[in-house]
Structure 1
Amino acid sequence: MYGGQKPVNQYKEADNNDHLEVALQASGIGIWDLNPIDQTVYWDERCRELYGFAKNDVVPYDQVLRYMHPDDRPRVHEAVQWALNPQSGGQYESWFRTIGASDGKVRWLHCQGKAFFNKENVAYRFAGIAQPVNITNWQSLENSSQQALIESEERFRTIVEQAPVAVALFSGPEFVITLANERILEVWGRKREQIMNRPLFEAIPEAKGQGYEAIMTNVYTTGERFVAKELPIKLERNGRLEAIYIDFVYEPYYSNDGSIIGVTVVYIEITEQVKQRQTIEASEARFRSLIEEAPVATCLFVGRDMVIEVANEVMVSYWGKDLSVIGKPFIDAVPELKGQPFLDILDKVFTTGETYTAQHMRADLEVNGILGTYYFDFTYKPLRNESGDVYAIMDMTVDVTEQVLARQKVEASEAKLRSIIATAPAAMGLFVGRDLIVEMPNKAFINIVGKGPDIVGKPLRDVMPELENQPFLQILDDVYTSGKMFQSFGSQVNIVQHGVMTRNFYNITYTPILDVHGEVYAILDIAIDVTDAIKDRQRAEEAEQALRGAIELAQLVTWSIHIPTGQFSFSERFMDWLGLSERTKPVEEAFQSMPDEYRQSSAEILAAAIEPGSRGVYENEHPIINSQTGQVRIIHAQGQVFYDTNGMPEYLSGTAQDVTEHRRVQQQLEFQVQERTEELASTNEELAATNDELANINDELAHSIQDLQRSNQNLEQFAYIASHDLQEPLRKIQSFGDILKNQYGSQIGEGVQYLERMQKAAGRMSTLIRDLLAFSRISTRQDSSRRISLNDVIKAVRTDLELSIQESGVTLQVDTLPDVLGDRSQLEQLFQNLLSNALKFRRKDVKPTIAIRSQSVKAIDLPPSIRPARLAPVYTRIDVADNGIGFDEKYVERIFQVFQRLHNRSEFAGTGIGLAICEKVVANHGGAITATSQQGRGATFILYFPAA
């Protein structure tokens, strides 16, 4: 027994000649190998025994000849020499006698061999076998029956050697290898000298334990033939243990007397065929496993009857059946498909051999006993055999019922969306695809575009080409690619309506619309026109800014009382005056900042202001004490009551002015007037003669004092006057001061210093008012948005500053500058302020230079700190650089604020409004301004304008 198989077709062969065709002689074979070059002979142990040698595997050829019978030696040598001649074909065969080297015994040998030649027809090897011949007389051999037997065996041996299959003969119960052709040596992976005349399981030890001993022993002892197919065996070949497969026959080998003397074997190695079949079977198993375990519904229909050969559970569940459908025709397994297109499609694929693919195909299937409608994506792929004929169809199906139903819902939703868009009061439209094809615009949207209803089906870029230089097309593309909604409020959009460019403001929402696969396929645009609201707000902001500027100019504070709660709120400057860290306090606590003697009267004035039926006006003047420093200020406060919808007082809001200095100056002037009056009265008594003249002087002085007092009163009301009338009292202060100083300076004495200080303050105030009015005009003036040449602007400014430029000796370098959209007068004010600053803050020891350069900057390349007032894809950058005294960059934001100064008035004159005007002009033009500098190394002011 071996490998779970039993011998088959066992029988005993009657005819011994048939056995001779498949086996070799049982025993007595030796192997020899002659090297024609060095004339040495290698032989195995059996050959040594036949020649009677006890040792030496390698001997000289001459020594071999010496141990042959003298009568046979010439004939053998001649046969060897002829075999070494290329004309002989290398074949060698000879019968001869040997005389044992060790025992002197005469033995008959039969030798066969073959010579091998190189390309030059020189023999390089001569090898063969030797076996004993059981005869005692050579002369009688030619006519004896034994001679015929030997010739028959030789023919058999030749047949075995030339057989196309592997053949061997194993002699005796030890299965000595006495005959083996080259094919079986290849199967075993051995050389002939390694295995000949050796027991099989000694020559091939790895064959032990694989069941062959029992098989061969059974053949040898019973004479039963053994045939096996695809029997595995492990043999050591090429230095490693290999598993091979063989078809083989073990036959008993008989002697002349009918006894078994050995076993013959015929091998046919079929390893490659078995492995190929196993590979195919494994591939088929993998294919079946792939189908059965595939996450996608998969099955195989075989033949024109579409027999279900294999189907995975997913596919069977789609059909609403179980695995019992396998092996049935498709129509029998799923009968409800009759009358539906699938069977006809399968038949066409089988006939034409063309793959068929469908999407969202409807199928009515009975699942769980209920006939329902389902939708599938599927592919019918034909499979061909080796002849190229279609023998089966593979079906791969995906259930898309949910997606189809979802798509249907989307289509219904889209119809609803169309209705909503059409009736919406806001401007709405749909931009389809990445090209933003305009679809479903409602009337409000068409009116905004201003190009009529034929915009449907056209790309937005073609419908509104004016958007190319605005950010909206890029924003829409970002929404389409990212799938994220975009919202903006009060965005400025420049639109050509009926041939005219308009600037309007909209609240915009771009919402991505998804298809059934969750992919963006369109963008819903909702635009609400807020132009009027934005412009109203801008006007309110400008008015508020002007008011704040006036308040700042007059150095006022603001305050408010919420009457129902009694909470007092302060501006930051008021908090600084009071030394507070909180913006709100109860009124009672706020009154703690007053001296005790003022609290009661102030409370009464407050109560009177909010009393129902009163004018609702509050006015009071009193001292305040800083809670941190103890500094005392005198403030003049005014306020107005505001009422709720029920007519009840809700807020009392107002301002306060620090009049401490005014009161001090007033008191000093009054004191000095009193002194001078007393002195003049004494002088009048002493100089009666000149009484009339002094009386006239005194009258003039009194009038001057009255004028001065009126000027002081004008100063007290300065914060409440926001028009050109502020200049008039200032001019009077300066002129009356000149009169007092020129005509009565000697009499006033030290009071002249106060007059001079007053005049300087009035001069600064006048300058402040002029700058404030300029700032106010900049804030309130509307942008005409005309194309302005900056080259012309710089030319005009150079003309205005020609004298200053000549006096300073400045070198002015100006690049060719682009045009911008804006107001010419504002732009001239902007560059005049910047150039005046550069001239003012020049270094005394260095020749001043000013350079004006320009370049184009994309919006995405703007520095993070730059926030232009208007969105644009491209900006024009203008640099105004000087080599003056510069400033510390930590003050870069401060310098553009109103009244902010980095230097004392004694060093550089100015009001601190010039750069604030610059910032406002740039903002009016939709841009931004910043600066870079180092102390002592100049400054560069950088302006960004939307490209024209």
Structure 2
Amino acid sequence: MGELTRNYDWSKTSLGTPDQWPKSLHTLVNMMLNSRFPMLIFWGPDLITFYNDAFRPSLGSSGKHPSSLGQKGEQSWAESWPVIGPMIYSIMAGGEAVWFEDQKLPLYRDGRLDYAYWTYSFSPLIDDTGAVNGVLVTCSETTRTVLARQQAEETQQLVLAFFEQSPVGIAMLSARDLTFLMANPFYGYLVGRTPDQLVGKPLLVAMPELAGQGFDDLLKQVVTTGMPYVAREVAVDIVRNNQLETIYVDLTYQPHREANKTISAILVVATDVTQQVLSRQKIKESENRFRTLIEEAPVATCLFVGREMRVAVANELMLSFWGKDKSVLGKPLAEAVPELNGQPFLTILDEVFTTGQTYTAKNAPAELLVDGVLGTYYFDFTYKPLRDAAGVVYAIMDMAVDVTQQVIAQQQLVASEARLRSVIATAPAGMGLFVGRDLIVELPNQTFIDIVGKGPDIAGKPLREVMPELLTENQPFLKILDDVYTTGQMFQSYGSRVDIVQHGVMTHNYYNITYTPLRDEQGQVFAILDIAIDVTEEIKGRQKLQQAEEALRGAMELADIGTWELDVPTGLITYSENLKQLFEFTEDSLPAVLMNEVIHESDQDRIRLALEQVFTFGSGGLLDQEYTIVTRRTGRHRIVRVQARMYFDDYQQPAKLVGTMRDITEERQQQLALEQLVQQRTEELAAAIEALESTNQILASKNEEYVVINEELEEANRQLNRSNDNLQQFAYVASHDLQEPLRKIQSFGNLLQNQYADQLGEGGAYLERMQSAASRMSTLIRDLLSYSRISVQQDRRQLVSLPTVVQTVLTDLELVIAETGAEVTVGELPEVLGDPLQLGQLFQNLLTNALKFSRIARPGATNESKPPVPVIRVDARTLLARDVPALVVSNRSAPVYHQIDVIDNGIGFEQKYADRIFQVFQRLHGRNEYAGTGIGLAICEKVVTNHGGAIRASSQPGRGATFSVYLPG
């Protein structure tokens, strides 16, 4: 630019040759040319243009450069002069410097008129006389930065619009503290809060009722493992409308990773599957309401008269669109809104005036100067020609609607299509779009493709062609979709049967279906979003349950068991047909007060007290009583047994008592005869006990003989060991036969204790000892049977999940854990090849052992000396075969072994007994201290041996014990 400036013929300008320039101009031009910052100088009354090399690239490769050099400012910057000219003239007149940021200006460069954004300042320049004789322009073009920022804002608005309008509950929680980062309105609807009540609050603060339901633990697990969590029909107890209610959702927890792979947040997607009743909304607007909506619609209207298009009438909304006031009335449109010159609207109006044909356009862009800023706006408008009595066009009515926001939203929607496809593709339900009246299938996700069962190439085809069975099987769904498209009303169906030919086979499945109409920027339905959730298993399960209930009612009738139901609010009792015959009633239902009349007077007080207990909330609500009834007509006495459960409403008030009744008159008569027999046998037993005491005295004198017999028994024991296999088989068979007489001993003993406890006297103590011995014998037989089964059980190995096995055992021990207050922690456990029943027995015995040998309080212990809560931990680790001690597993044939440790803080034992405890019938404590048969740990060793592994124990007295199980990997 220095060279161009020196070679320029300045004599043709008002400045004259450089030797005629003032010294100040020489200095300013020299400074400008040597600056690396874009600069431009306007000098003298004609505002002659100078600019430097840093400014030149903004002029483009063709257009203003080099013609702008030495040219008058009003000529060189004609397109921008209406904006910058007034400011430059103001500074030349002595005004202050000005500065603007990201100002949009028209600019002619690269052979066309364009717009660019600038950050610039205008400063006064002083000549040699001290007067303002020029303007210094320092500037920086920010077009790329502004456009990039606008694009980012549009993208963000697009994502937020989809997020807000999604028919699926979506929320984002912080991975650090589970604080809500965002939540869409539908998610707020699901949980009974607004998004403002959720965002910024931790999960359990925003929804305290979730405490104890495990959702916070699941979210933490997703953060820890990095694995998504997906579940169907999850029950959630949630407070909505100030009421605690249970909703069911299909739930997805998706971890969100940053660029460095760290998890920063969790995306929560929840689909409401609670409603099982069709909810249709029928909207029919009256004519008055329709007119009111039209009157309130934002429609701008104006009237152009004559070929000059003079503005005769314009409402306030139209004037606001133009950025003008009523002073434009009466002026030609080209004069009233000069920025329309060069735009197509004036030409279109002239054609409408000439041809007399209405012109309609949608989403038409218009450049309008509003509040001094030229901007682009979008309109739907109609030019309607008006004719006089002779049929000649004399005016045009313009009706326009500002659709700028809709167009921008549509542009954002187009930009977010990829995101929409991603959301649909990852949704846990079947999703797809039906576009147009022909219902063209678009954007089907894999679940939808699997439901249709016609292969992946269904996109772009009409639904009636993809699923012809909807027509051939006379199914209603095509008609329903057409109604949704016509009315714009959403359709929901729960548990609907759909007959679909999947991969050539007709199937009959059940789905929760939602048809949601989608509207374009004009509010017209252009597509329908189909969301289908497969509930076949749920519906079929419900059908099977109904069949089972019917079968149960039939079985109860055959078993002569009657059913009855008391409706507490009405006080009416309804009962089955066989109870109707038993009581000799003729009515189908009776008031509860009349039912009391049939209860024998000797039982009425007892039954009344039992019912008062059942009617009390928190008592358990269970009724189990026997009493005598007096039939209504014949007065027969019958003994009945009643079992029932009370159901309470949401306000903890009794609502319904449901139960069964069985006539046990003959059973009680047989029991009475049995009791008489037991009394006789009791007397005989007393005599036998007396004889036994006499025998004991004789046995004491024979003690020396027993020493010799003991040596003989040791020899016999060695012989018995050789036939151990046969004895185990014998134990397996004999245990079943031994159990039966023991059950009779215990049953008769219970009858004696219950019915004749006050008559037995000292015999009661003997009876208790007999019952105790029978119970221990029964337990011993059961344990022997378990040991025998494990010894002879066939190999049924399969891949077994140890976490599932341990969880099942903990569920069985739930009551014992609650009674002892034990804390049980289970680490990550592997899958192993083995027998699931034997492995279940292994962990059942180990965990029962840990609970049983906890440190218990002794008589006289103070609160300070109470033992600690039992703490049990189950951990696992993987070892290479070479790292497993040979003393533990002698035949290390597997490449790896799993070491599973069961660790407790119980009473422990001395290490010298570590091998002894795995032998049959070996006990380290008396039966009075800890119950048991001494077989449980022997069973554990047998199970581990069957699986090619080993078990070892380590402990110290008072410091707990560790049982380590080694299983091949």
TM-score computed with the length of structure 2 as normaliser? 0.30
Asked which structure has the greater RCO (Cα within 8 Å, sep 6+), the reply is 1
TM-score computed with the length of structure 1 as normaliser? 0.31
Indicate the structure (1 or 2) with the bigger Cα radius of gyration. 1
